[in-house]
Amino acid sequence: MKTMRSKAFFVNGGAGRVISSIPAFEKYAETHDDFIIVCEGGTDFFKGHPKLDHKVYDHWHKNLFQEHIKQRDCESPEPYRVWHYYNQKCNLSQAYDIAINGLDEPRELPAPTIELNKMEVISGYNIVEEVKSVTKKDKVIVVQPFGRSIEQVGEFMADASSRSMSLTGIVDIINQLKKDYAVIIMSEFHFPLEEKEQSAKNQVARPQISDMRVWSAVIDVADHFLGCDSMGQHIARALNKTATVVVGSTYPENISYPGHKDFDIIDAGNGRREYAPIRITQDETVDRFNDQAMELSKDQIKEIVDSCKKRLGKPRAYTGTFVPPQQQEQSCSPTQQPSMPQQQDAFQLAGGNKMSPTGGQDLTPFSGAPKPSFTLNQPTKPKPKSTKGFKQEIKNLLKSDGQGIKIEQK
């Protein structure tokens, strides 16, 4: 007879996979009390969870094996190897549910639970409010154009898996949206939007935020989310936000929430993709077939923009007054001396630094506060002329006056 032992579940992969596993573990916790979850990619999105937080460990936790794993059976649920998933019969959360809870068929699941604490919410609110005050636009959209498989290869940005939006397409989309709405770009990569961007009439925000939970708060406070097959859409679903999701080489039935009232799915890859058996086999033929699955046509770009505008509603000017945190502190205690230089903004007060020097003093961050940094304009150097295909495409798109555009190198 097989010995029944409690289980140690191992969860790996990106943040989107981790978030998608939460509903399955919530269901497992309804009938099992003795189990643990080992997060090989980090425990960020389990923090504060009312049922699961105390069961979750980083894989580097001291004495994890001796104290918590040795007496348990190890399980590594892999949703991509679930039959219903690779036959487009269930989504990522349902595939985790089948693997973790031993189901024969997928079932309806609630949205993932992400619990933000007050400091995270305040940081997200201050970031969004400052963006509004600078752009003078009251409605805010967060745009995540690239997934984790995007790479900067020399002067080029490319996603071999074709899950990220094409650069020319997302530039066109952002340039249309920023005329009426405040745009926050969720990307560690800087890419050009137009010639003389620093003096452009309509600016965009490019906060460099390393804490994914702070990004969650920004998405929560913003009015709409636009993204691809990456973690942002799962955050939006968990926080009951509206989202426009652009899908290329992957299937909406697998990686997103088609049919949900808050989600608009723009399936750019429909009719020109094959299923890529990720984590099952490596098939170069399929990747080559899917290579153009995320190239957006003019009609698709219009559909994406129209979806965002429909969800955002009529644009309006920002009429509020953004009060940086140090000014709020002074208003409460007018006799106290300010502890931080007045030229510092909300992002620095959260513990970050601007991309360009401000001349201010060093900042001691709040205890436990997130540490994003923010810039509306990324400093750029003059770029030499070039006629290479990719750069020429960008130059034509931006209607260059002859000065070639070169993707910024990190």
pLDDT the model gives residue 394: 52
319, β-bridge pairs: none
269 domain-assigned = yes
Confidence check: pLDDT of 378 > 90: no
Last residue of a domain, one of 66, 101, 136: 101
pTM, whole model, 2 decimals?
0.81
Does residue 165 share a domain with residue 28? Answer: no
Which range among 238-252, 338-352, 376-390 shows the weakest confidence by mean pLDDT?
338-352
Amino acid at 261: K
48 domain-assigned = yes
Does residue 124 share a domain with residue 81? Answer: no
Does residue 131 share a domain with residue 88? Answer: no
342 domain-assigned = no
Does residue 87 share a domain with residue 179? Answer: no
330 domain-assigned = no
387 domain-assigned = yes
Amino acid at 192: P
Confidence check: pLDDT of 405 > 80: no
Q: What DSSP element (H or E) covers 304?
A: helix 298-312
Q: CA-CA distance, 234 to 229, in Å (whole number)? A: 9
Last residue of a domain, one of 101, 130, 160: 101
Q: CA-CA distance, 294 to 371, in Å (whole number)? A: 33
Q: Domain holding 246: CATH number? A: 3.40.50.2000
Which range among 43-52, 337-346, 371-380 shows the weakest confidence by mean pLDDT?
337-346
pLDDT the model gives residue 327: 55
Neighbouring CB atoms inside 10 A of 208's CB total 17
87 domain-assigned = yes
Does residue 79 share a domain with residue 170? Answer: no
Amino acid at 52: L
- In percent, the amount of the chain with pLDDT more than 90 equals 72
208, β-bridge pairs: 373
- State which residues form the domain around 17: 7-101
pLDDT digits (tens, 9 = 90+) for 102-150: 999 999 999 999 999 999 999 999 999 999 999 999 999 999 999 999 9
Does residue 162 share a domain with residue 67? Answer: no
Average pLDDT, the chain: 85
pLDDT digits (tens, 9 = 90+) for 18-41: 999 999 999 999 999 999 999 999
Does residue 201 share a domain with residue 233? Answer: yes
**What DSSP line would sit under 363-380, residue for residue?**
--PPTT----B--SS---
- Binning pLDDT at 50, 70 and 90, where does residue 398 land? low
Q: CA-CA distance, 236 to 246, in Å (whole number)? A: 14
pLDDT the model gives residue 324: 82
pLDDT the model gives residue 335: 40
Confidence check: pLDDT of 346 > 70: no
Crossing angle for the helix pair 15-31 and 231-238, to the nearest 10 degrees:
40
402 within 8 A of 236, measured Cβ to Cβ: no
**Three-state DSSP class for 35?**
strand
Cα dihedral: 191, 194, 196, 201 (round 10): -110
Confidence check: pLDDT of 217 > 70: yes
353 domain-assigned = no
Angle formed at CA 394 by CA 203 and CA 297, multiple of 5 degrees: 95
Task: Count how many domains the chain has.
Answer: 2
pLDDT digits (tens, 9 = 90+) for 60-109: 999 999 999 999 999 999 999 999 999 999 999 999 999 999 999 999 99
Does residue 124 share a domain with residue 96? Answer: no
219 domain-assigned = yes
Last residue of a domain, one of 37, 69, 101: 101
Does residue 23 share a domain with residue 122? Answer: no
Does residue 83 share a domain with residue 190? Answer: no
